[in-house]
């Protein structure tokens, strides 16, 4: 029995309505997710951008005998009330290191204390009425101003908010990631190459494969416990060091790299392998000269994403002691260090108002690095995308 167009359309109307409804629901979900993302970024930018500026005061420093023991004596007492104590403490050392300074004077922009900074940024601060007047006057005369916060990008952590910076953590992150990459990349790639190109497909390799996939799903904090038990307690790797942190994160990144590499190897068409075997390549030559170069973009994207994941990781590093107070920029792989997310975590726990913006500022730095890494992964993939 045949139906007219009208009959069929009547039947279809309900179906069309249903699919339109589903479309709206999914678009709504997407919109909501987008909205949360925008709100999150707006909040972080709002809170974090002020951290990139800091209040500085212009002082006249008079290097006299008193200042050699008590830094405060080098400054006009009125002005010295707004100067950061972290700077006052530096003065005796400066004189000791360079005795020629004694008896000279110098104009210099130095950090104010955190309260002045917060006051200038319009936040609540503990300044008294009188102090506020002093600050207002100095602002009017151009002796106190907000400037780009070089301290934030060049120093390590500090108990004084105005003196706290992200540099020690950034260097710690770089060193930790170097260790992670140096361990996880070669081992991961070679493991994947073995499993994909050399290993026979038997029970044993299937079990290994399943376990590697499981490894990728293990909560990261367990890797921290493993790192603590094996690397620190058994092998005696120094606690809190980029070495032990990097090794621990390598355990976590390994399955990601293995899985990414296997996928990349599998996407190389067999016709290329056959061509290579056909001209008399040994198995290793097939892999080295033909398969690996073609899989490399995929391997690199996977590794970068794995690394970005490791970079944002805090939990396992807490366990191996990398969430520490690190005032100095680290110089070796075995010294105590901290990493960006751990630094953010530490600052988030500080009670002072000034640390709120440090926290958000740290998050912004971390986010920009992660976005940069992920974007480069995408660009790599696009650039080397192949047509066979």
Partner 1 sequence: MNIQVAERSTASMSRPESGQPVTRNTEANHELSIRVRDLNLWYGDSQALKNLNIDLYQKNVTALIGPSGCGKSTFLRCLNRMNDLIPSVRIKGLVEMDGHDVNAPKMDEVALRRRVGMVFQKPNPFPKSIYDNVVYAPRMHDLVSRKPEQDELVEKALRDAGLWEEVKDKLHQPGTSLSGGQQQRLCIARAIAVQPDVILMDEPTSALDPISTATIEDLMDRLKQKFTIITVTHNMQQAARVADYTAFFHLGEIIEYNDTRTMFSNPATKKAEDYITGRYG
- Catalog residues that contact partner 1 under the rule CB under 8 A: 200-201, 271-282, 285, 289-290, 294, 386-388
**Given the complex with partner 1, which of 124 and 387 has the nearer CB atom?**
387
Torsion angle (degrees, nearest 10) of CA 241, 242, 247, 249: 120
Nearer to partner 1, 76 or 289 (CB): 289
> Closer to partner 1 at the Cβ: 285 or 309?
285
Q: What is the closest distance, in whole angstroms, from the C-beta atom of residue 54 to partner 1 in the complex?
A: 53
Specify the residue, 44 or 294, whose C-beta has the smaller distance to partner 1: 294
Structure tokens that stand for 221 in this block: 């904090």
Q: Give burial (CB, 10 Å; 0-12/13-18/19+) of 352.
A: middle
At how many degrees (to 10) do helices 292-311 and 242-266 cross?
Answer: 140
Query: Smallest distance, Å, CB 176 to partner 1?
Result: 36
At residue 40's C-alpha, the angle toward residues 34 and 42, to 5°, is 100
The single-letter DSSP state of residue 113 is: P
Token pair for 271: 């016709």
Residue 286 CB coordination number (10 Å): 19
Least separation, in Å, of the C-beta of 280 and partner 1? Answer: 4
**Is the separation of the CB atoms in 149 and 52 below 8 Å?**
yes
Q: How far is the CB of 382 from partner 1 (least distance, A)?
A: 17
- Angle at alpha carbon of residue 198, lines to 189 and 310, rounded to 5°: 20
CB 254 within 8 A of CB 184: yes
Where does the chain show beta strands of DSSP type E?
Answer: 53-62, 105-111, 144-148
CB of 271 to partner 1, least distance (A): 4
Residue 184: CB minimum distance to partner 1, A: 28
Maximum alpha-carbon separation in the chain: 111
| Cα–chain center distance at 93 | 34
The rounded Cα 289 to chain-centroid distance in angstroms is: 35
Q: Quick one: 96 or 274, whose CB is closer to partner 1?
A: 274
Question: Judged by CB, which is closer to partner 1: 285, or 374?
Answer: 285
Nearest alpha-carbon partner for 174 in 376, 338, 346: 338
CB 341 within 8 A of CB 312: yes
Residue among 104 and 282 whose Cβ is closer to partner 1: 282
Distance, CA of 74 to CA of 108 (rounded, Å): 12
Q: Shortest distance, CB of residue 275 to partner 1, whole angstroms?
A: 5
Of 194 and 277, which CB lies nearer to partner 1 in the complex structure? 277
CB of 60 or CB of 289, closer to partner 1: 289
Tokens of 133: 């007047």
């Amino acid at each position: 029995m045949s139906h007219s167009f009208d009959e069929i359309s009547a039947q279809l109307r309900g179906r069309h309505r249903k699919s339109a409804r589903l479309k709206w629901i999914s678009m709504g979900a997407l919109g909501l997710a987008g909205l949360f993302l925008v709100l999150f970024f707006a909040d972080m930018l709002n809170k974090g951008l002020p951290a990139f500026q800091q209040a500085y005061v212009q002082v006249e420093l008079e290097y006299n005998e008193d200042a050699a023991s008590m830094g405060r004596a080098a400054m006009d007492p009125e002005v010295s009330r707004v100067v950061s104590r972290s700077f006052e403490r530096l003065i005796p050392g400066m004189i000791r290191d360079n005795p020629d300074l004694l008896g000279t004077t110098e104009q210099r922009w130095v950090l104010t204390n955190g309260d002045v900074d917060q006051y200038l940024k319009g936040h609540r601060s503990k300044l008294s009425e009188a102090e506020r007047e002093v600050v207002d006057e100095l602002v009017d005369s151009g002796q106190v101003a907000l400037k780009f916060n070089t301290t934030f990008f060049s120093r390590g952590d500090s108990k004084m908010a105005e003196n706290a910076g992200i540099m020690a953590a950034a260097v710690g992150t770089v060193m930790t990631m170097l260790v992670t990459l140096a361990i996880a990349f070669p081992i991961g790639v070679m493991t994947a190459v073995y499993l994909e190109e050399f290993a026979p497909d038997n029970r044993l390799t299937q079990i290994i494969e399943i376990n590697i996939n499981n490894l990728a799903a293990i909560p990261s904090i367990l890797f921290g416990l493993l790192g603590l038990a094996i690397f620190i307690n058994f092998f005696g790797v120094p606690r809190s060091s980029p070495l032990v942190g990097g090794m621990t994160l390598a355990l976590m990144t390994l399955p990601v790299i293995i899985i990414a590499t296997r996928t990349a190897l599998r996407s190389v068409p067999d016709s290329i392998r056959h061509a290579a075997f056909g001209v008399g390549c040994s198995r290793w030559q097939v892999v080295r000269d033909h398969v690996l170069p073609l899989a490399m973009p995929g391997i690199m994207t996977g590794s970068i994403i794995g690394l970005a994941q490791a970079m944002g990781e805090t939990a396992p590093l807490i366990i191996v002691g990398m969430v520490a107070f690190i005032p100095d920029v680290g110089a070796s792989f075995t010294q105590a260090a901290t990493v960006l997310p751990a630094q953010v975590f530490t600052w988030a726990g500080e009670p002072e108002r000034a640390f709120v913006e440090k926290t958000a500022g740290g998050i912004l730095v971390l986010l920009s690095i992660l976005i940069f890494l992920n974007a480069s992964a995408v660009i790599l993939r696009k650039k080397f995308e192949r047509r066979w």
